[in-house]
C-alpha cells in the first residue's frame, strides 16, 4: 500500500535584487503524518533544509494569500504560467521562493488520493499519542 507521495520540484529563491536562483526541492506527504506537508530544500552545502506545515495551509495558498508568521503562501498568474510564492521566516533569516503552481497542485491532488481531505484523523490512534504527550507514557 502506498503510504507517501513525493515530488521533485524546481523552486526559485528570489533575491533582494529581484534576481532569482534555482533551488532544487522536494515535496513529501505521508499518511503517518496526514495533516502536514514536508518541503526539503537541497542546498549544495550539507543536509537539506526541512520545513513542515499544514496541508490545509498549502491548499488555501494555492487559491489565495494564506498564512501568517513563519509560512505565507500566495498564487500569481494563471494557467501553465501560474506561480506559487512561499515566504518563510525563522530566527535565522527569511526567504521568498516560487514554484510552478500547476506542479504543486497536481502533487497536492495526489495526496488527496492517499488521504482525502477531512479524513486525516481516520488512521490515527490518538489516545496513545495523547497519553505520551500528557503523561510521558506509551
Segment 28-55, tens digit of pLDDT: 999 888 889 999 999 877 899 999 999 9
The percent of the chain in helix, strand and coil, each rounded to the nearest 5, is 30, 40, 30
**Predicted TM-score of the model (pTM):** 0.84
For residue 113, what are the domain limits? 4-135
> Side by side, which strands form the sheet with 36-41?
49-54, 36-41, 20-30, 4-14, 93-100, 83-90, 71-76
Query: What pLDDT sits at residue 138?
Result: 55
Cβ atoms 30, 4 nearer than 8 A: yes
Residue 103 pLDDT more than 80?
Answer: yes
DSSP code for 66: B
pLDDT tens readout for residues 108-127: 999 999 888 766 666 655 56
Please state the domain count of the chain. 1
| CATH for 118 | 2.30.31.20
Query: What pLDDT sits at residue 118?
Result: 67
**Number of neighbours of residue 11 by Cβ within 10 angstroms:** 24
Residue 89 pLDDT more than 90?
Answer: yes
Percent of the chain with pLDDT over 70: 86
Cβ atoms 68, 75 nearer than 8 A: no
Q: What are the angstrom distances between the C-alpha of 132 and each of 33, 125, 127, 129? A: 17, 12, 9, 5
Reported as half-sphere exposure (CB side, CA atoms, 13 A), residue 118 has a value of: 0
Amino acid at each position: 500500500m502506498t503510504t507517501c507521495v513525493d515530488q521533485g520540484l524546481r523552486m526559485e529563491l528570489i533575491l533582494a535584487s529581484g534576481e532569482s536562483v534555482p533551488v532544487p526541492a522536494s515535496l513529501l506527504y505521508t499518511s503517518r503524518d496526514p495533516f502536514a506537508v514536508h518541503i526539503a530544500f537541497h542546498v549544495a552545502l550539507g543536509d537539506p533544509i526541512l520545513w513542515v506545515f499544514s496541508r490545509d495551509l498549502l491548499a488555501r495558498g494555492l487559491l489565495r494569500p494564506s498564512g501568517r508568521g513563519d509560512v505565507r503562501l500566495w498564487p500569481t498568474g494563471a494557467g501553465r504560467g501560474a506561480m506559487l510564492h512561499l515566504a518563510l521566516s525563522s530566527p535565522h533569516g527569511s526567504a521568498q521562493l516560487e514554484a510552478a503552481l500547476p506542479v504543486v497542485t497536481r502533487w497536492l491532488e495526489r495526496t488527496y488520493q492517499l488521504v482525502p481531505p477531512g479524513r486525516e484523523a481516520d488512521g490515527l490512534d490518538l489516545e496513545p499519542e495523547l497519553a505520551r504527550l500528557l503523561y510521558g507514557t506509551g
